[in-house]
Amino acid sequence: MTTADRVARPSILTVDDDPAVSRAVARDLRRMYGEHYRVVRAESGAQALEALHEIKLRGEEVAALLADYRMPQMSGIEFLEQAMDVFPQARRVLLTAYADTDAAIQAINVVDLDHYLLKPWDPPEQNLYPVLDEQLRAWAVSDRQPPQRVRVVGHRWSPRSYEVRDFLARNNVPFRWHALDEPEARCLLTAAHQDGTTLPVVVTAQGKALVDPSDADLAAEVGLSTRPSADFYDLIVVGGGPAGLGAAVYGGSEGLRTVLVERIATGGQAGTSSRIENYLGFPDGVSGGQLTERARRQAVKFGVELLTTRDVVALERRGAARVVRFGDGTELAAHTVILATGVSYRLLDAPGLGALTGRGVYYGASTTEGPNCAGQDVYLVGGANSAGQAAVYFSGHARKVVILVRGDSLEQSMSRYLIDQLEAIPNVEVRTHTEVVGGTGEDHLETLTLLHNKTGETTTVQASWLFAFIGAAPRTDWLDGTLARDSHGFLLAGPDLGGSPAGWDLERAPYHLETNVPGVFVAGDVRADSVKRVASAVGEGAMAVTLVHRYLERS
């Protein structure tokens, strides 16, 4: 076998902090698989990650990862979670002692574990090789084509460049960002016959250049679905946050022809969270992106259509059909509709900040901006869980993270586990009774004016980064005159409608999550008096599907 052939072999990587065990695993693997696979041995998670990055740079593949559960500094689960980002198709096996089997089972939810293997595995012919044979066969038949990356050229402080990056990231489209002053950016612009006057420029994996594309055009070019395959469905789900994804998964799994319509990207506000630690079944936490992607894959598995960049602007009752109209004038009809449009963060009402949106002032957290904050101060406005999760994330990048809270503490609005975490992070500061009352900057945010609402004292601070997590605007104006809402715009349903609402023409009262239009249901944060938590939103989405079935059976 030539040297070139050897380099091209896929790798099996094993990591164990016990040198004797590490050598024994590698020995047994080379004996059985050395002819066709390159066996790589590491004695720590950090060393193993470094080896993976080297393999990635060489353009080679990794077929399987075997990691010891109990390792100092970085556990086997933590290593596998990071390794997933480098080689997502590699099969993941956890090496555990007998006492660790419960932890191994829990790891299935965290890192999509493919198998856990008890130590010792002697004889390998009976306990090791059959397991690896099965995993390597599964890897061999999987689609391992590396994703073709989209490339984005833009200005760091351009609002539209930020929106495009955020759109691609939230829709799990692999891309590479090139700031305008990079040599590669100039080469791409030259190849696209652009001078950089109009940005961003998006170069698709197929080499097509898109100059300042709309979200809809961008979605179509990168392979996202924007057009329905049919004119009529059993169920239309409007909104792709936790409630909408929950409804879509349960609708599809129970045989309803279901389509989910999303304006920007699935996940909603929860999808932008860097870490959710109080969601059932994920004891080590899960990022909003990971949770969203798993839910999206589940929905697709059950035959649900997912449409992006579709803005629903009207809802009509047309006989037995319920019809939604999109911003482009097209329509989609179904027997039933579940509205799960969630809420959006309220804008900061302070002079100077409006013009700086997308140029240092952001609403919600964007994990794509984390590395750009390195060594700088980050200011966060808000005292709920979303602000706390963002603070934990940005603390790993920024010099200092300052949380600005109007009230006297975080106790009433933030979960205790997050408060405890924040108190333990040295570069996180909480300023109570503090509001943002102004901001300045030329190309981007440069200063903030802060008001202490108890003393009336104002201070000006240097700041390039401000992330706001305040209030909850339901964005239901498009339903005015169609569905009943409370004084804040949240949708009323079930008992909150007060028996038989105006226009209700059925003998029965509305079901628990049913609006004043029969067959139209609401789930999640957009419902009046809902519990603003991911788990409750998912539960309401599932419950709404049960009520959809009840409605269809009696119609």
Tens digit of each residue's pLDDT (9 = 90 or more) over 350-360 = 999 999 999 99
Q: What is the pLDDT of residues 90-133, one digit of tens each?
A: 999 988 876 555 555 565 556 677 888 887 788 889 889 999 99
Structure tokens given for 221: 């070019």
CB atoms within 10 A of CB 20: 8
Give the contacts of 416 (CB within 8 A, at least 6 positions apart). Answer: none
Q: For the residues 317-328, what does the mean pLDDT come to?
A: 96
Q: Report the mean per-residue pLDDT for the chain.
A: 90
What kind of architecture, by CATH, is found in domain 150-221? Answer: 3-Layer(aba) Sandwich (3.40)
The pLDDT score that the predictor gives to residue 280 is 85
The pLDDT score that the predictor gives to residue 529 is 92
pLDDT at residue 6 greater than cutoff 60: no
pLDDT-derived band at 43, boundaries 50, 70, 90:
very high
The dotted CATH code for 232-344+473-554 is 3.50.50.60
3-state DSSP call for residue 542?
Answer: helix
pLDDT-derived band at 528, boundaries 50, 70, 90:
very high
Task: Please tell me if the domain spanning 3-141 has the same topology as the one spanning 232-344+473-554.
Answer: no
Fold (CATH) for 3-141:
Rossmann fold (3.40.50)
Task: Pick 336 or 20 by higher pLDDT.
Answer: 336
pLDDT at residue 431 greater than cutoff 90: yes
How far is 239 from 176, CA to CA, in rounded Å?
Answer: 28
pLDDT-derived band at 2, boundaries 50, 70, 90:
very low
Strand 377-381 to 400-404 pairing: parallel
Q: What is the DSSP letter of 360?
A: T
The pLDDT score that the predictor gives to residue 411 is 93
DSSP 193-249: T--SSS--EEE-TTS-EEES--HHHHHHHTT---S-S-SEEEEEEE--SHHHHHHHH
The pLDDT score that the predictor gives to residue 5 is 42
The pLDDT score that the predictor gives to residue 178 is 92
Q: What H or E segment, with its residue span, contains residue 116?
A: strand 115-118
The pLDDT score that the predictor gives to residue 145 is 59
Task: Pick 21 or 458 by higher pLDDT.
Answer: 458
Structure tokens given for 53: 């990055």
Q: What is the pLDDT of residues 45-87, one digit of tens each?
A: 999 999 998 887 676 899 999 999 888 888 888 898 888 878 8
How far is 234 from 251, CA to CA, in rounded Å?
Answer: 9
Q: What is the pLDDT of residues 157-194, one digit of tens each?
A: 999 999 999 999 889 888 889 999 888 898 889 988 89
- Which alpha helices (H) appear in 87-182, and where do they start and end? 101-111, 124-127, 129-141, 159-170
pTM of the model: 0.73
CATH top class, domain 354-468 = alpha beta
Q: What is the pLDDT of residues 263-282, one digit of tens each?
A: 999 988 887 787 888 888 88
Between the CA atoms of 492, 525, 292 and 200, what dihedral angle is there, to the nearest 10 degrees?
100
Q: For the residues 539-544, what does the mean pLDDT come to?
A: 97
Domain ranges of the chain: 3-141, 150-221, 232-344+473-554, 354-468
Q: What is the pLDDT of residues 215-247, one digit of tens each?
A: 999 999 999 999 999 999 999 999 999 999 999
Percent of the chain residues past pLDDT 70, beyond the cut: 95
Give the contacts of 377 (CB within 8 A, at least 6 positions apart). Answer: 398, 399, 400, 401, 402, 461, 462, 463, 464, 465
pLDDT-derived band at 426, boundaries 50, 70, 90:
very high
Q: What is the DSSP letter of 348?
A: P
Which value, in Å, is the radius of gyration of the alpha carbons in the chain?
26
Q: Which of 40-44, 328-332, 361-365 has the lowest mean pLDDT?
A: 361-365
pLDDT at residue 458 greater than cutoff 60: yes
